[in-house]
Amino acid sequence: MTAFHPLVKRLLDGELTLGELPAELRAEGQAALRILAAVDRSPVRLPEALDARVMAQVRRRRASAGSLWRWMAAPRVPVWAAGALAAAAAVLVLVVSRPGASAPPAASVATAPESVFVKFVLYAPDAKRVSVAGTFNAWDASAAPLARAGSSGVWTATLALPVGQHQYAFIVDGQRWIADPAAPAVDDGFGRRNSVLSVSRNGVRTL
């Protein structure tokens, strides 16, 4: 097998230019670059009919999903970190996870925050009241009510949580304690489960 010289590989990686290669490697470098010159970067457009096919399947699945959707919760979403405790929080720095060239940022995080804003979301269409309680608010069922977002049955609240690991649960109508159905959970010692959430300076993980 004919292997390229390591410096030629760095040329292909874009780390070196042809001029930076030793003279004796330039011919090999030029041959290697011809490979990249043949790369086809023309865009690929898929037919719009694909949208209709996908949506037909979506409707079919939704019709058969039934109660599966009933208690589904979107997990806690990192919104931004700021800090209640950090004066520098006014300066927000975007931390961009780039799944696609023009994709939206995954989370916006302030510099060295001591707490991070976390958005809690629960889908509970039949609930009259929803709140979230956990180690971050001394399990006070009335400290953090969720607000109903329109008429969709979605409830949300945004809280500043200190960096660290937290356990929490939702309280529906002031009496039903439920773990976040979409998050990992641990035994709470009382026969129920607590959801677990880790808040780091880089944002939020579900554990």
Partner 1 sequence: MTSRFLALAAFAVAPLAAQRSVTDRLSGHLPAPVVSAVATIADSALARSLPVDPLVNKAIEGGAKGVPGDRVIAAVSTVFHQMADAATALASGGIKSPDGETVEAGAFALSAGLSAANVAGLAHASGEPRAAPALRVAGALAALGVPTRDAVSLVTETLADGGSADDIGALPARVEANMAHGASPAAAAAAAAHGGVRGSPSTPRRPSRGDHGRKP
Partner 2 sequence: MAGEPVAVRDLSDGDVVRAVMAGDAERYAALVRKYRDRYARYATRLLGSVDAGEDAVQDALIRAYEQLAQCRDPDNFAGWFFLILRNRCFAERRRKRREGPLEGAEVPAAPDRSESDLERGEQRRALEASLLRLTAEQREVFVLKHVEELSYEEIAARTGASVPSLKMRMHRAYDRLRELLEDHQ
Residues 69-98 close enough to bind partner 2 by CB under 8 A: 69, 72, 74-75, 77-79, 97-98
Select from 161, 3, 173 the least CA-distant residue to 84: 161
Cα 141–chain centre separation = 27
User: Which residue, 37 or 138, is less far from partner 1 as judged by CB?
Assistant: 138
The secondary structure of residue 184, as a DSSP letter, is: -
Token duo for residue 158: 């945004």
Write the CB contacts of 153 (distance below 8 Å, at least 6 apart in sequence). 123, 124, 125, 126
Number of residues that bind partner 1 (CB under 8 A): 31
* 75 phi/psi in degrees, rounded to 5: -70, 170
**66 binding partner 2? (CB under 8 A):** no
182 binds, among partner 2, partner 1, none (CB under 5 to 8 A by kind): partner 2
Q: Between 172 and 191, how does the x/- string for binding to partner 2 read (CB under 8 A)?
A: ---------xx---------
103 binds, among partner 1, partner 2, none (CB under 5 to 8 A by kind): partner 2
- The whole-angstrom separation of Cα 192 and Cα 8 is 60
Token duo for residue 163: 């960096």
Q: Where in 97-156 is the site for partner 2 (CB under 8 A)?
A: 97-101, 103-107, 119, 121, 123, 125, 143-147, 149, 152-154, 156
143 binds, among partner 1, partner 2, none (CB under 5 to 8 A by kind): partner 2
Q: Between 26 and 65, how does the x/- string for binding to partner 1 read (CB under 8 A)?
A: ---------------------x-xx--xx-xx--------
Q: First vs last Cα of the chain: how many Å apart?
A: 47
Q: Between 96 and 135, how does the x/- string for binding to partner 1 read (CB under 8 A)?
A: -------------------------------------x-x
Question: Closest separation between CB of residue 44 and partner 1, Å?
Answer: 15
Select from 118, 36, 108 the least CA-distant residue to 76: 118
Q: What is the dihedral of CA 159, 160, 163, 167, to 10 degrees?
A: -20
Are 199 and 116 spatial neighbours (Cβ–Cβ below 8 Å)? yes
The secondary structure of residue 44, as a DSSP letter, is: -
Residues engaged in binding partner 1 (CB under 8 A):
47, 49-50, 53-54, 56-57, 133, 135, 138-141, 165, 177, 184-192, 196, 198, 200, 202, 205-207
